Chains A and B, each alone.
Chain A
Amino acid sequence: MASSSSFLSRPPLSKASISFSSSLSSGSLPQLFLPSSSSYSPFPSNNSARRILTVRSKIREIFMPALSSTMTEGKIVSWVKSEGDRLSKGESVVVVESDKADMDVETFYDGILAAIVVPEGESAPVGAPIGLLAETEEEIAEARAKAASKSPPSTPKAVTPSPPPPISSPAPAIAQPPPSPAKPVSDGPMKIVATPFAKKLAKQHKVDIDSVVGTGPFGRITPADVEAAAGITPSKSIGTNAGSKIAEPVPSKPASPVTTPPPIPGSTVVPFTTMQAAVSKNMVDSLSVPTFRVGYPVTTDALDALYEKVKPKGVTMTALLAKAAAMALVQHPVVNATCKEGKSFAYNSRINIAVAVAIDGGLITPVLQDADKLDLYLLSEKWKELLKKTRAKQLQPNEYNSGTFTLSNLGMFGVDRFDAILPPGQGAIMAVGASKPTVVADADGFFSVKSKMLVNVTADHRIVYGADLAAFLRTFAKIVENPESLTL
């Protein structure tokens, strides 16, 4: 069988590579013989030196290799060599089955296969010893003794960190009497019932299934229960926030150490909706972007006057601000750019203004595409249409994730200034506060009262620098203060 199964480990015939090949650093076959910790030799690669310095025999452990990025454990399909066989570097020793394929695994060192720790058909976690390699025949006996102490082969369970104490958050939203929830399992001994996918998820996220409280029918553990225990958002998230790529949930860090304080009795736990989950994910993702903020006061008397004039024609303040921002962006393309993987600027060919909208239980950013090109009236109409779709939850993905710059306005609530979080994939976001009458002194020292609003822009400092933002804001302020150009 080894010969047949090795087929899959051949380098793929075309460039559409089997995924494991990309995760390997070198060589067409994985080479897995790592010097074991039992080696006392300070010069493991230098034979002559080793001979002189050897205090103890040199027995190398053969580890379960990681054949793919997602592999957590492997199954021994067959040992190509048997105990006592002499191996030379580069020879196939064992066929390992990962979650993706069977692969021949070859030796890195010459030696004698002294002992097989994990027999054919059994599994071992990545990195666990599966066999022992002795350098000389004299060492075989010692290796065997060592192997004996190792068996029974460590099962994957032994390796997983000890499960978190079963304080797992009780999920039912109904008020519950103190921690130990009476599980509504049918009569008979307390039996853990978990669905197939729940078990899979538990294994994947290293959640001890015994510690999860089932909330499904008949008290069974559902995938959502495991996800809650692992502290991850449901895998089926539909992207809702601007510009973000919908990525699979990050293969969650082992969830255990997140010791959530025990819930206050009577508290309710409401799982995220998909939209909330997507927002949450985007917000966490935003932490990886170095941002900075620049504020700027803008006089709005002229804008307010214009607004009064065009309001009857259906123009909204949102459209005015979006148009103003878009016109400023035309002159400062860097603020409309995207940082690509921290390596390059991507100048967006279009100016798409995403506008944050609060909707029941969430936040979404409908996008005014080509806001620089459309005139104010078209833009207003477009905006009304987007709002209608938002309410009906009929926005198409490109209508909420194609933004290149975001506008967030809390002015109508009386907020005078605030600070927005930059959505992943965009260069900047503008937070607009309320316009308030303010006493100002002009150049000649005369006081007057003008309406001023504070605009605060958060930007990705990898591509947008302070001067860029300052210049952009000055342009923006000029446009708002002389808003005639908006109606052109």
Chain B
Amino acid sequence: MQSSLSISVSPHTSLTVQRSNRNALEPLAFAPPSKPLNLRFCGLTREALGFSSLRRNSDSFRFRLSSSARVRRADKFFVSASLSDNGSPPKTFDYDLLIVGAGVGGHGAALHAVEKGLKTAIVEGDVVGGTCVNRGCVPSKALLAVSGRMRELQNDHHLRALGLQVSAAGYDRQGVADHANNLASKIRNNLTNSMKALGVDILTGFGTILGPQKVKVGSDKVVTAKDIIIATGSVPFVPKGIEVDGKTVITSDHALKLESVPDWIAIVGSGYIGLEFSDVYTALGSEVTFIEALDQLMPGFDPEIGKLAQRVLINPRKIDYHTGVFATKITPAKDGKPVTIELIDAKTKEPKDTLEVDAALIATGRAPFTHGLGLENINVATQRGFVPVDERMRVMDSNGNLVPHLYCIGDANGKMMLAHAASAQGISVVEQVTGRDHVLNHLSIPAACFTHPEISMVGLTEPQAREKAEKEGFEISIAKTSFKANTKALAENEGEGLAKLIYRPDNGEILGVHIFGLHAADLIHEASNAIALGTRIQDIKLAVHAHPTLSEVLDELFKSAKVKAHVSGPVSEPIAV
């Protein structure tokens, strides 16, 4: 910690520093230690922020006290000092931590860094909030909230079963679009304010790495920091041959603005982005055609969950699909012609079909946004655009050596392209630079797809678990429970759903949990916390759940698992087989 004593020493930035110092002191003086605005967005979970939160809060309180004392001293003694910068790693730094990219990952890291007493700045070349808040999870949740309600109101059968009568439901496209937009700006403001309130400097401009511990912001400003986190995120990936015009051939960026609701839209890619949009579009009256390169829809989900999801989310809806095909050429609608999509067989590469639709949404995944980051200045070569990192998010150069003081989190490293994963990685990095070694267990990070009903998962899928079990020589077992047996789900008339547990019967370790059903995204956290904390089934099955709640689905799930070990001690050790 002591080594992180730092303050700007170059005269032209000292003003900024003083301002930010004052800001940093305020919450200290007037707010309780738990003050750091723990905003929740994008499923950014407290789990990541708060294992042992009480103890750490008091620690950080102490840290901050000492750091503020240091700062005052620094003001007194070093304010007029200056350093002639000659290209080598600076000896003193403008900041303890500089984060390039103010998305959810950067924000999570910044908040935690402040809590740990680091003087922190965040660089943003676009808008605060990044993809998640502006063009991703947040506005899409607004659209999905609308689609969920539309679906309910349109489902005569369902309503009648509840004894409700509703005359025809309709929607106003602009109103829906405004809701999404308003939500995004609200969350964006919350994010900005939370960082400002904590004294994080927001530096506007694109960040470029000039050399070790040195970043150029915008065209001329150079900032130094002891540690740097790259958190530049990603942009929609558009395969070659696809011409995006933003009107009829669009990416999620455009789709979230909901400028039109086409009668028939092709969605290229049936991952969670495509799936969520199919939910929105079909609820608003569009027909959807999925184009999937793999042989099965919804790759990446547990096959059994995927199959059930297909039965509920695809087959009964106005959706058809082409699997095992690539869209090689997509031409936007023009001159009175519709959007045309040329398909080839994914294996034989032979032309297979040409589709004519009203619009096409490219949801083929996301590409890291690392171009122009100046990585060549520090001899780092990206791999398909991703910044190579080790399990501690430390950046590796082209020789495989670690680049000191440089970290990369979130979509830019490609480990797990989820907002809350980025944030968790950021927190892990801050833990490390403040002297506590930490390795994030990615298998404990949940993921969710917000269709109606929702899909959520944590840990391994069944095939992955079987492969691991084969390799490491242990048994796995599967337990399943149905939402049909859950009182609350039945009260809502939403009994469709399945929860699946993959575990080791020998020691009760949870390997994976997959849920498809009402509020699955909210239900998964009991399982993800159990994995993160190493809780075994034989222990968690004794936990009590309120009745009647959906959480009893998981309660049943844990109770139906058959574990050979009876009760584990407080620290459960894997039993060698």
Q: Which residues of A contact B (CB under 8 A)?
A: 1, 4-5, 7-8, 12-14, 16, 18, 99-102, 186, 191, 193, 195-197, 199-200, 216-218, 220, 223, 238, 246, 248, 396-398
Measured in the bound complex, the distance between the Cα atoms of B305 and A8 in whole Å is 12
Tell me the complex Cα distance, A220–B337, Å.
12
Q: Point out the residue from A1, A100, A196 that lies within 8 Å of B289, measured CB to CB.
A: A196
Given contact pairs A14-B485, A196-B318, A186 touches B165 in the complex (Cβ within 8 A)? no
Bound complex: CA of A5 vs CA of B355, how far in Å? 34
When A4-B462, A186-B337, A238-B168 are in contact, do A200 and B318 touch as well, CB less than 8 Å? yes
A197-B287, A218-B356 as given contacts; A4 in contact with B311, CB under 8 Å: no
Q: Are A13 and B356 in contact (CB under 8 A)?
A: no
CA of A186 to CA of B315, assembled, Å: 30
Query: Which residues in chain B, 278-336, are within 8 Å of chain A measured between CB atoms?
Result: 287-289, 303-304, 307-308, 311, 315, 318-320
CB-CB < 8 A to A102: which residues of B? 307
Contacts of B288 in A (CB 8 A): 196
Please name the residue on chain A nearest to B556 by beta carbon: A13
Tally of contacts, chain A with chain B, CB under 8 A: 70
Q: A14-B484, A217-B338 are in contact. Are A100 and B495 (CB under 8 A)?
A: no
Question: How far, in Å, is B314 (CB) from chain A's closest CB?
Answer: 10
Instruction: State A377–B483 Cα separation when bound (angstroms).
Output: 54
B490 contact set on A, CB distance < 8 A = 14, 16
Specify which of A18, A195, A200, A238 lies most central, judged by the most chain B CB atoms within 10 Å of its CB.
A195
Q: Give CA–CA (A127, B66) in the complex, Å.
A: 80
Chain B residues with CB under 8 Å of A186's CB are 337-338, 356
Q: Are B156 and A246 in contact (CB under 8 A)?
A: yes
Q: Which residues of A lie under 8 Å from residue B462 when comparing CB positions?
A: 4
Distance in Å from the Cβ of B220 to the closest Cβ of chain A?
Answer: 53
* Cβ-defined contact, A16 with B495, below 8 A: yes
Assuming A8-B308, A196-B318, what are 8 further A-B pairs, CB within 8 angstroms?
A: A1-B303, A4-B462, A4-B478, A12-B484, A13-B481, A196-B320, A200-B320, A218-B356
- Across the interface, do A217 and B156 meet the contact criterion of CB distance under 8 Å? no
Chain B residues whose CB sits within 8 angstroms of the CB of A396 once the complex forms: 165, 167
A residues near B245, Cβ cutoff 8 Å: none
Q: Which residue of B157, B318, B482 is within 8 Å of A197 (Cβ)?
A: B318
Known: A199-B320, A238-B168. A220 touches B485 (CB 8 A): no
List 29 A-B residue pairs with CB atoms under 8 Å apart, sorted by A's residue number: A1-B303, A4-B462, A4-B478, A5-B307, A12-B482, A12-B485, A13-B482, A13-B484, A14-B485, A14-B490, A14-B495, A16-B484, A18-B484, A99-B311, A99-B315, A102-B307, A186-B337, A186-B338, A196-B288, A196-B319, A197-B318, A200-B318, A200-B320, A216-B263, A217-B263, A238-B167, A246-B156, A248-B157, A398-B165
Q: How many residues of B contact A (CB 8 A)?
A: 35
Q: How far is the CA of A220 from the CA of B358 in the complex (A)?
A: 11
CB distance from B480 to the nearest CB of A (A): 5
| Inter-subunit contact A193/B356 (CB<8 Å) | yes
Q: Which residues of A contact B407 (CB under 8 A)?
A: none
Among A200, A223, A397, which residue has its beta carbon within 8 angstroms of that of B165?
Answer: A397
B264 within 8 A of A: yes
Residues of A within 8 A of B354 (CB): 191
* Bound CA span A4–B168, Å: 41
CA distance A246 to B356 in the complex (A): 35
Q: How far is the CB of A390 from chain B (nearest CB, A)?
A: 14
CB closest residue in chain A, given B288: A196
CB distance from A481 to the nearest CB of B (A): 40
Distance between B177 CB and nearest chain A CB, rounded to angstroms = 23
Mark B197-217 against chain A: 1 for CB-CB distance below 8 A, else 0.
000000000000000000000
Given contacts A186-B337, A397-B165, contact A5 B320 (CB under 8 A): no
Min CB distance A91 to B, Å, is 22
With a cutoff of 8 Å between Cβ atoms, the chain A residues found around residue B168 in the complex are 238
Chain B residues near A101 (CB, 8 Å)? 311
A217–B263 Cα distance when bound, in Å, is 10
Find chain A residues with CB under 8 A from B320 CB: 196, 199-200
Q: Are A5 and B304 in contact (CB under 8 A)?
A: yes
A100: nearest chain-B partner, CB-CB: B311
CA distance A248 to B264 in the complex (A): 24
Considering only residues 82-125 of chain B, those with a C-beta below 8 Å from chain A are none
CA distance A101 to B482 in the complex (A): 13
Interface centre among A8, A12, A102 (most CB of B within 10 A): A8
- Across the interface, which residues of A come within 8 angstroms of B304, CB to CB? 4-5
Chain A residues, CB < 8 A from B289: 196
Given A7-B480, A220-B356: A196 and B287 interface contact (C-beta under 8 Å): yes
Among A199, A218, A248, A396, max chain B CB count under 10 A is at A218
A residues in contact with B338, CB < 8 Å: 186, 217-218
CA distance A12 to B480 in the complex (A): 12
CB neighbours of A5 from chain B (8 A)? 304, 307
For B486, the closest partner residue in chain A by CB is A14
Q: Find out whether the CB atom of A397 lies under 8 angstroms from the CB atom of B167.
A: yes
* CB-contacts of B480-501 with A (<8 A): 480-482, 484-485, 490, 495, 498
Residue from B311, B354, B462 whose CB has the most chain A CB atoms within 10 Å: B311
A14 to chain B, nearest CB (A): 5
Complex CA gap A217/B248 in Å reads 15
